[in-house]
A and B are shown apart, each in its own frame.
Chain A
Amino acid sequence: GQSLEQPSEVTAVEGAIVQINCTYQTSGFYGLSWYQQHDGGAPTFLSYNGLDGLEETGRFSSFLSRSDSYGYLLLQELQMKDSASYFCAVRDQKNRDDKIIFGKGTRLHILP
């Protein structure tokens, strides 16, 4: 079957670094994405990994290891505005079946 696992909650301190892990099991893997969602808002795209390695976008980085079916989102220099839910998502493509599967989300709490 298809599944993504990520922690339900993570707490960190303002200014610190936090890593949110995601493991996946899919029938046909095409890429791993990360989305941010603030309370009451819509999910917004943060980062995409199609190949193994690290992708960096400002304070956010994302990593993928296809052989381990594992990725993570790294947030540096945490700010209070980073308090949100973070979702990993996998593009699961096999034959004509091609869709995005989302994890259940990780709620990030930031302490002052």
Chain B
Amino acid sequence: DADVTQTPRNRITKTGKRIMLECSQTKGHDRMYWYRQDPGLGLRLIYYSFDVKDINKGEISDGYSVSRQAQAKFSLSLESAIPNQTALYFCATSDPDRGDIQYFGAGTRLSVL
């Protein structure tokens, strides 16, 4: 079983719909992250969380919200999806005592029509 699991793996939706991407981890890490990847732009940080009560905005948080339901679960929501949110989304966890090495899920490919 994967240490960091993302669901769904692929999703096609329409403009204006609300979408939730789920992430769960079995690594026991406190830190969790959501990234967005677009061709040629690398990985851009959307939100990150250091524990259940600590959630922080990344560089591109507009249009997104998150919920840290438990240490192992961190979900990303698009309240009203728009076409330029079409991208590959990655969840990651890290251990700050080990250089903050990031462990990524397999990704969710989202298309907004």
Contacts and interface: CB of A to CB of B under 8 A. Distances in A.
A8 B102 contact: no
B99 A100 contact: no
Given A42-B90, A42-B106, A100-B94, A33 B101 contact: yes
Contacts of B103: 45
Contact of A87 (B42, B101, B106): B42
A76 to B, nearest CB: 22
Contacts, number: 56
Contact of A102 (B43, B96, B101, B106): B43
Given A30-B100, A42-B104, A43-B104, A100 B90 contact: no
A101 interface: yes
A44 B104 contact: yes
A70 B69 CA distance: 39
Interface in A39-97: 41-45, 48, 50, 87, 89, 91, 97
Please report whether the interface of chain B is mostly helix, strand, loop or mixed according to DSSP: strand
B35 to A, nearest CB: 8
A39 to B, nearest CB: 11
Nearest to A45: B101
Interface residues of B, number: 24
Given A43-B90, A99-B48, A99-B56, A104 B41 contact: yes
A91 B102 CA distance: 10
Interface of B: 33, 35, 40-45, 48, 50, 56, 58, 90, 94, 96, 99-107
Given A33-B99, A100-B94, 6 more contacts: A42-B106, A45-B101, A45-B103, A50-B99, A89-B102, A101-B45
17 contacts: A33-B100, A35-B102, A41-B106, A42-B106, A42-B107, A43-B43, A43-B90, A45-B103, A89-B102, A91-B99, A100-B45, A100-B100, A100-B102, A102-B35, A102-B42, A102-B44, A104-B40
